[in-house]
Structures are given as C-alpha cells and as structure tokens.
C-alpha cells in the first residue's frame, strides 16, 4: 500500500505526517511556520526520513495553484514562496497542492463527517475565515480558489465594531474572525465568559448564519462543516443552525436545513492532514 506524505502549512504552525489513512500514521511533526526556506527545509528533512510515495500540501492562501506558489499574503516573507518546487526537487515524488480548507474538505469527504456526500462545504473560522467547496465530488477552482471569508454581510444592529479585515474592513472575516472577537472584547474568544460570551456567540451566529444562507443558495450543499478555533464557542453551531432557519424563511423548503445542517468536522484537527494524504494520492494517480 502506498504511503502518503501530508504537509499542512498554516500561518502559525506547520504539521507533517506520513501514512495511508488517519489510522495509519507516522509520528506527527509540528513546527513553527517561520520563513519559507527554514520551514520547507524542516519539512523536507522529515519527509526524506519517512520516504513517502507521494506528497500532498494543504496550505494557507492565497495560492497560485498553477505555479505552486503563495500569492500576495500579509505573512512576512511568504508572498511568492514556491511550495511545490523544493519538495519535488528534493524528494523526487509526485506532489499535489491545494488550500488548507480544500484539503480539510477532502479529508472530511474520505474519512470524516462528509462521507457519502457529493456536494458540501468545509468552513474554518479562526484567525481568518475560509471555505472549501466540494461539488459533485471535486474541489471548486476557477481563476483561483474561492475566498468565502470576504463576502459581504449585513451588520448586526448592535455591533459597532468597524471590522478588522485590512482589505475590506467589515466583510465576514473582518467581523467574525477570531481577531475580530479579540478586538471587540479585549480578550480572545476562548477567554470569554458570562455576558460577554453570550454577546460574542450571538454576534458570531448572526454573521455565520448569513454565510450559510449564501452557501445554500449558491452551491446547494448537502451539509456545511465548520471547524477552527472560533467554532468551539459554547452553543455557537446550535445557534447558527437555528438562525439559518430564519434566514431561509422556508425557501427552498428542504427539511435538511431545519436542524443539524451545520456540523463540526469529524476529524477535528486532523482534517487538513487527512486531506493532504488525498492530495498525495491524487498526485500519484496522475503520475502513473
């Protein structure tokens, strides 16, 4: 059975495993995401020692999926960084690349909470907000990849926060990401309690339910999975599900939207790494 190397490159940390499934993995390597040469050098050293048959990379964006490079990003030193070339040159195995959210979606489709679904969306709500869409079993790409965190939403009537997005101010990411919560309340979301926690959950659900409505009307997914640190706020996903019912106002009328349409990922923190293995498998299939 082939062994697949999976690399998940995040803005803060980078993780690597090698195996054939989430139940058959080498020891997890987790390192800080510093500058590209150092980070990728550590990844290459790990993969050389493990000798995978192919490698899949799920990385923060924006990404140029044609050239295998990071696009223009606020992550210092990473704009234009070549993610695929150094691995292919050093390890000499087929290498696949996609966004971290598309990777997580692929992992959840194979082994997690989206098994058996043909069309669904994986959303992460944390330092940023992003979404990976699977439509008829394939990830969605066009001129680039979707940037779901930057959609426009109407403001909560009691929310005076201007928004943290450096590009759009009060887009979804600007109003509902982890840093937006921290800026409103002067503490991270996980440190909130009492009335502040109740308010934060209410505001988050208000914005995320609008996102879910837009996804329902544009992509008609069978389910939406929501991961990331903010998704763990107590009661948040339950409230998003309830608010979505109101957002849809009975249209298009599918009973699936009435409860349990928005769910947590089945693989937890392993979603992206599992997806990296799927990307590696696909790269190997294309090479043979």
* Domains of the chain in sequence order: 4-103+268-287 (3.30.420.40), 115-263 (3.30.420.40)
Any idea which of 22-26, 118-122, 170-174 has the lowest mean pLDDT? 22-26
Encode pLDDT of 215-249 as tens digits: 999 999 999 999 999 999 999 999 999 999 999 99
Encode pLDDT of 28-82 as tens digits: 999 999 999 999 999 999 999 999 999 999 999 899 999 999 998 878 899 999 9
Q: Note the pLDDT of residue 146.
A: 85
> For residues 278 and 103, what is the distance between their CA atoms, to the nearest angstrom?
8
Q: Note the pLDDT of residue 157.
A: 95
> For residues 38 and 149, what is the distance between their CA atoms, to the nearest angstrom?
29
Encode pLDDT of 245-278 as tens digits: 999 999 999 999 998 999 999 999 899 999 999 9
Return the exposure string of 119-137: e unless at least 16 CB atoms fall within 10 Å of the residue's CB, then b. Answer: bbbbbbbbbbbbbbbbeee
Any idea which of 54-68, 111-125, 138-152 has the lowest mean pLDDT? 138-152
DSSP helix, strand, coil percent of the chain (3-state; round to 5) = 40, 20, 40
The pTM for the full model equals: 0.94
Q: Note the pLDDT of residue 142.
A: 80
Encode pLDDT of 177-199 as tens digits: 999 999 999 999 999 999 999 99
Q: Note the pLDDT of residue 72.
A: 87
Q: How far is CA 164 from CA 38, 100, 125, in A?
A: 30, 22, 14
Task: Tell whether the model's pLDDT for residue 144 goes beyond 80.
Answer: no
The average confidence (pLDDT) of the chain is: 95
Q: How confident is the model at residue 101 (pLDDT cuts 50, 70, 90)?
A: very high
Tokens coding 3 = 């062994």
> For residues 83 and 121, what is the distance between their CA atoms, to the nearest angstrom?
25
């Amino acid at each position: 059975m082939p062994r697949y190397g999976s690399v998940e490159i995040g803005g803060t940390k980078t993780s690597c495993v090698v195996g054939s499934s989430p139940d058959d993995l080498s020891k997890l390597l987790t390192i800080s995401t510093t500058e590209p040469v150092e980070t990728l050098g550590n990844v290459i050293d790990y993969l050389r020692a493990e000798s995978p048959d192919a490698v899949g990379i799920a990385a923060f964006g924006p990404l140029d999926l044609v050239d295998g490079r990071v696009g223009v990003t606020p992550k210092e030193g990473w704009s234009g960084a070549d993610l695929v070339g150094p691995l292919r040159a050093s390890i000499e195995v087929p290498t696949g690349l996609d966004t971290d959210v598309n990777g997580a979606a692929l992992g959840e489709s194979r082994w997690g909470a989206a098994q058996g679904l043909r069309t669904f969306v994986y959303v992460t709500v944390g330092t940023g907000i992003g979404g990976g869409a699977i439509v008829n079993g394939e990830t969605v790409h066009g001129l680039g990849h979707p940037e779901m965190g930057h959609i426009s939403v109407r403001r909560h009537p009691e929310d005076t926060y201007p928004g943290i997005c450096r590009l759009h101010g009060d887009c979804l990411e600007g109003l509902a990401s982890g840093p937006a919560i921290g800026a409103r309340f002067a503490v991270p979301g996980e440190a909130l309690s009492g009335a502040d926690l109740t308010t934060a959950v209410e505001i988050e659900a208000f914005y995320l339910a609008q996102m879910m409505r837009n996804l329902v009307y544009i992509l008609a997914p069978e389910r939406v999975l929501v991961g990331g640190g903010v998704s763990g706020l107590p009661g948040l996903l339950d409230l998003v599900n309830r608010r979505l019912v109101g957002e849809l106002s009975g249209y298009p009328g599918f009973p699936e939207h009435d409860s349990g349409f928005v769910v947590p990922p089945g693989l937890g923190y392993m979603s992206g790494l599992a997806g990296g293995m799927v990307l590696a498998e696909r790269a190997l299939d294309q090479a043979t």
